[in-house]
């Protein structure tokens, strides 16, 4: 529209932003930006290893989860290989799989949840190399317990690897992240500094898994791909867990506020363990799209799921009150216009 | 050795650093680092297009030339495909080619120059998909004219693409960069903000070529791979051409100073169109390695070419006088020790 959005609530970014210590670390790092970053991300990887109580050899740092998903697809997927995901789940995963010639098999959501048992059953049926499962889920914000994931894994076929995308897990209730022997060869976990840590623009993600699997990334990754300042920022962000706690508290309040705004307009929201909330517009995708268009035309950027019946919802990121007040103001006007 | 180097003259970084305006732009960008960078690098790509007088559709921005070489190998090289490069040229190109199953054919340097006619003759012989040629060259610093490249291209076999790595071209004399119809399908050019612009740690490179070829990168690249601050920094660096000019002048003086240091110790240097100088240690690789080890043990980090006879040299990056003074101090001591 040629003008910036007044409220940027659509890109699943964390408007509360990163720790001031992370910002300071990145700004300070600029004096050394003439040097390449450490190709091993040694300091960051060791700090993450300590944080997760694993060995540094269990962690690979990459250019966001997107970059790591691309590397993983390259490592695992050959032309014609079957891969399983949910209908309407993360499109970038599908992009990478298709790019390496994988054949995607999609399983519908079950009651607005990605269903790991159904995904695993499909994997057995099609002899899948990879199964993608996000917990918490994007775009619905729903989640399951880590314990239920480990239970479902008992049925994972031999030769299938679970990609567990935990991009939003820091926002989720305790017990959502899996507790797993890091050398368990059945799964690889993806984490990021883009969401709870508020550094989407820095491009820092990491994968955790068995040593043998993680080692394989060394054969293909862009060794000097990491921005040097981003490495320093992620390290500082990790060390400031009190900021993370505060962010999660603000996000929790914002989720409640979005819920209230929805109810004030006759809508319900889905329970969310992420920094966004799916507002159920109660009718079909066309109606949700018209609500979305009305908000966007008023400068409130939101998005919506791609497929039915999840596309009856719009997805609204959490943010500070001034952002949500714009939503509260725009939504009744949009609905009045729609009649 | 557990201690930082006193002089970091080995990594082909630009110790003179980026424009203060680029640093300021990156520091300023931190207030928006919670947002993803523009996946299209729209502003930067358009500025580069204006700078090079081409269309934005002729430019793809990526995570350094390394990242772009990886994408290019993926686009062009299938298992078993022949690829041609020089023996001792850029190893990361070879890494990516091998990673996609390409078969590397290596042509020796000719009088310390990569020889494009010899590379092209080899390409014809082995039916190569890609030919890699860096101008100016790394690790020797030698160069040829853009005109000679265009002349050599006349013999490029149909179906072979020239990868012209111009990472160091801003340091080179006028006439070193090729002048070419951007839609010429025979070559793709690689440029970077890591060298003359002094932003190695930011990871910003770009490729220029025919629209059809550049468009293919969209099918495979990590769309959100670019660091948001780095995008802003590269834009500011591009706009500060007077800093670039000043840097090139400092580099030129430093090359002369390195030449003087070499001569003071009985060595000659190779002419260089880059920000490093190959000092010919006048004997074999083992001797050059002992000179290098002696410098490194004294805190002066330098590197050397991998293969004979180029490995008779050590490669020293340009830097401010305090760095080069450490070299001037260390080198006689090393040679005295070696006898």
Q: Tell me, yes or no, whether B130 and B146 share the same domain.
A: yes
Q: Residue A2 falls within a domain, yes or no?
A: no
pLDDT tens sequence for chain B (339 residues): 567 789 999 988 999 999 999 999 999 999 999 999 999 999 999 999 999 999 999 999 999 999 999 999 999 999 999 999 999 999 999 999 999 999 999 999 999 999 999 999 999 999 999 999 999 999 999 999 999 999 999 999 999 999 999 999 999 999 999 999 999 999 999 999 999 999 999 999 999 999 999 999 999 999 999 999 999 999 999 999 999 999 999 999 999 999 999 999 999 999 999 999 999 999 999 999 999 999 999 999 999 999 999 999 999 999 999 999 999 999 999 999 998
Partner residue facing B201 (CB), from A92, A222, A229? A229
Closest in B35, B66, B224 to A64, CB measured: B224
Q: Please compute the mean of the pLDDT values over residues A257-282 and round it to a whole number.
A: 98
- Closest Cα to residue B60, out of B220, B215, B198, B183? B215
- Mark yes or no for CB contact B201/A33 under 8 Å: yes
- Contact list in A for residue B92 (CB cut-off 8 A) is 223-224
What does the pLDDT average to over A14-40?
97
In a domain, B320, yes or no: yes
CA distance B16 to chain A (A): 8
DSSP for A280-329 reads E-SS-HHHHHHHHHHHHHTTEE-B--SSTTGGGEEEEE---HHHHHHHHH
Mean pLDDT of chain A: 97
**Total number of domains in chain B:** 2
Q: How many helices (H) and strands (E) does chain B have?
A: 11, 12
Nearest to A200 among B13, B14, B36 (CB): B36
* Of A239, A254, A279, the domain-final residue: A239
Q: How far is the C-alpha of B124 from the C-alpha of B24, rounded, in Å?
A: 49
Dihedral angle at the C-alpha atoms of B214, B219, B220, B223, nearest 10 degrees? Answer: 90
pLDDT of residue A265: 97
- The CA distance from B43 to B55, in Å, is 13
Q: Are A7 and A300 in contact (CB under 8 A)?
A: yes
CA distances from A293 to A2, A269, A283, A287, A297 (A): 16, 19, 15, 10, 6
Looking at the structure, tell me whether residues A254 and A153 fall in a common domain: no
For residues A141 and A183, give the distance between their C-alpha atoms in angstroms, rounded to a whole number: 28
Nearest residue of chain A to residue B195 (CA atoms): A34
CA nearest B21 in A: which residue?
A: A30
Contacts of B63 in chain A (CB under 8 A): 63, 222, 225
Residue A227 domain-assigned?
yes
Task: Quote the pLDDT of residue B50.
Answer: 98
B270 plus B195 within the same structural domain: no
Measured between beta carbons, which residues in chain A are less than 8 angstroms from residue B233? 33
Residue of chain B whose alpha carbon sits nearest to that of A197: B34
B33 and A199 Cβ atoms separated by less than 8 Å? yes
Average pLDDT, integer, range A307-319: 96
Chain segment A162-177, per-residue pLDDT in tens = 999 999 999 999 999 9
Of A183, A209, A239, the domain-final residue: A239
Residue B4, φ and ψ in degrees, nearest 5: -65, 150
**A202: nearest CB among B27, B33, B63:** B33
User: Is B2 inside any structural domain?
Assistant: no
Whether A232 and A248 map to the same domain: the answer is: no
Contacts of A332 (CB under 8 A, 6+ apart): A264, A265
Nearest-CB residue to B34 (from A18, A64, A225): A18
Same domain, B11 and B50: no
> What digits encode the pLDDT tens for the residues A108-166?
999 999 999 999 999 999 999 999 999 999 999 999 999 999 999 999 999 999 999 99
Of the candidates A316, A263, A315, A307, the one whose C-alpha atom is nearest the C-alpha of residue A89 is: A307
- Answer yes or no: do B156 and B227 share one domain: yes
Q: Name chain B contacts of A30, Cβ cutoff 8 Å.
A: 23, 26-27
CATH number assigned to the domain comprising residue A302: 3.90.1150.10
**Over the stretch A44-78, which tens digit does the pLDDT of each residue have?**
999 999 999 999 999 999 999 999 999 999 999 99
- The pair of three-digit structure tokens given for residue A129, joined into one six-digit string: 């190399």
B229 and A229 in contact by Cβ < 8 A?
A: yes
Residue A203 to residue B227, Cβ atoms within 8 A: yes
* Chain A residue at shortest CA distance from B193: A34
* Angle between helix B321-338 and B285-297 (nearest 10): 120
In a domain, B120, yes or no: yes
Q: B interface mutation test: which of A2, A14, A15, A33 has the most B CBs within 10 A?
A: A33
Please give the residue range of the domain that contains residue B145: 20-239
B42, B53: one domain? yes
Give the C-alpha distances (Å, rounded to integers) separating B333 from A270, B295, B301, B327. Answer: 72, 9, 15, 10
pLDDT at residue B31 in the model: 97
Q: What is the ipTM of this complex?
A: 0.96
How far, in Å, CA of B15 to CA of B195, rounded?
9
Asked if A23 lies within 8 A of B8 by C-beta distance, the reply is: no
CA distance B332 to A111: 76
Of A36, A201, A219, the CB nearest to B11: A36
Q: State how far residue A78 is from chain B, nearest Cα, in angstroms.
A: 12
Nearest CA in chain A to B68: A222
* Shortest alpha-carbon distance between residue B198 and chain A (Å): 5
We report the CATH number of the domain holding residue B92 as 3.40.640.10
Smallest CA–CA distance, residue A231 to chain B, in Å, is: 10
* A202 interaction partners in chain B (CB closer than 8 Å): 33, 227-229
Number of CB pairs, chain A paired with chain B, less than 8 A apart: 141
Looking at beta carbons, which residues of chain A come within 8 Å of B23? 30-31, 33
Contact (CB<8Å) B33/A26: yes
Here the tokens at position A261 are: 């705004």
Location of structure tokens 């694993």: A54
* A198 Cα to chain B: minimum distance (Å): 5
Substitution target in A102, A202, A222 with the highest count of B β-carbons within 10 Å is: A222
* Chain B environment of A228 (Cβ under 8 Å): 200-202
Looking at the domain assignment, is residue A328 inside a domain?
Answer: yes
Contact A31 B14 (CB under 8 A): no
Residues B76 and B219 in one domain: yes
Are residues A330 and A291 part of one domain? yes
Domain match, A78 and A212 both: yes
Q: CB A9: neighbour CB atoms within 10 A? A: 28
Q: Shortest Cα distance from A227 to chain B (angstroms)?
A: 5
The verdict on B180 and B231 lying in the same domain is yes
Residue B234: CA count within 13 A, CB half-sphere: 33
Instruction: Please list every residue in chain B whose beta carbon sits closer than 8 Å to the beta carbon of residue A225.
Output: 63-64, 66-67, 203, 225
Neighbours of A185 (CB within 10 A): 12
Domain boundary (A175, A210, A239) is at: A239
Identify the pLDDT of residue A5: 86
| Least Cα separation, residue A309 to chain B (angstroms) | 28
Nearest Cα to Cα of residue A259 among A303, A300, A318 = A318
Interface contact flag, A224 B203, Cβ < 8 Å: yes
Note whether A223 contacts B66, CB cutoff 8 Å: yes
Residue A262 lies in a domain: yes
Residues A227 and A262 in one domain: no
Q: Which of A33, A92, A201 sits opposite B34 (nearest CB)?
A: A201
Question: What are the residues whose beta carbons fall under 8 Å from the beta carbon of A269, sequence distance 6 or more?
Answer: A258, A259, A262, A263, A277, A278, A279, A280
């Amino acid at each position: 529209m040629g003008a910036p959005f007044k409220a940027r609530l659509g890109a699943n970014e964390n408007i509360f932003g990163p720790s001031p210590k992370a910002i300071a670390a990145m700004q300070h790092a600029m004096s050394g930006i003439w040097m390449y970053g450490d190709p091993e991300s040694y300091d960051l990887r060791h700090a993450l290893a300590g944080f997760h109580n694993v060995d540094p050899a269990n962690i690979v740092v990459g250019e966001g989860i997107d970059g790591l998903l691309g590397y993983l697809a390259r490592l695992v997927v050959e032309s014609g290989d079957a891969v399983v995901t949910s209908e309407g789940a993360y499109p970038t995963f599908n992009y990478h799989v298709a790019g390496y010639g994988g054949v995607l098999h999609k399983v519908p959501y079950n009651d607005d949840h990605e269903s790991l048992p159904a995904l695993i059953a499909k994997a057995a049926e099609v002899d899948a190399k990879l199964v993608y499962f996000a917990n918490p889920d994007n775009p619905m914000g729903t989640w399951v317990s880590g314990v239920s994931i480990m239970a479902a894994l008992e049925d994972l076929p031999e030769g299938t690897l679970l990609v567990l995308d935990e991009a939003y897990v820091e926002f989720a209730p305790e017990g959502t992240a899996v507790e797993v022997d890091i050398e368990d060869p059945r799964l690889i976990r993806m984490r990021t500094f883009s969401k709870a840590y508020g550094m989407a623009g820095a491009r820092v993600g990491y994968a955790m898994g068995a040593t043998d699997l993680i080692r394989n990334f060394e054969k293909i990754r862009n060794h000097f791909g990491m921005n040097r300042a981003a490495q320093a920022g992620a390290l500082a962000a990790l060390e400031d867990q009190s900021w993370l706690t505060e962010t999660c508290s603000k996000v929790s309040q914002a989720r409640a506020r979005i819920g209230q705004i929805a109810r004030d307009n006759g809508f319900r929201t889905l329970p969310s363990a992420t920094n966004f909330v799916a507002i159920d517009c109660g009718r079909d995708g066309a109606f949700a799209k018209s609500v979305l268009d009305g908000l966007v035309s008023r400068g409130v950027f939101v998005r919506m799921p791609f497929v039915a019946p999840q596309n009856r919802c719009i997805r609204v990121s959490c943010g500070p009150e001034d952002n949500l007040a714009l939503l509260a103001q725009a939504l009744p006007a949009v609905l009045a216009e729609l009649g």
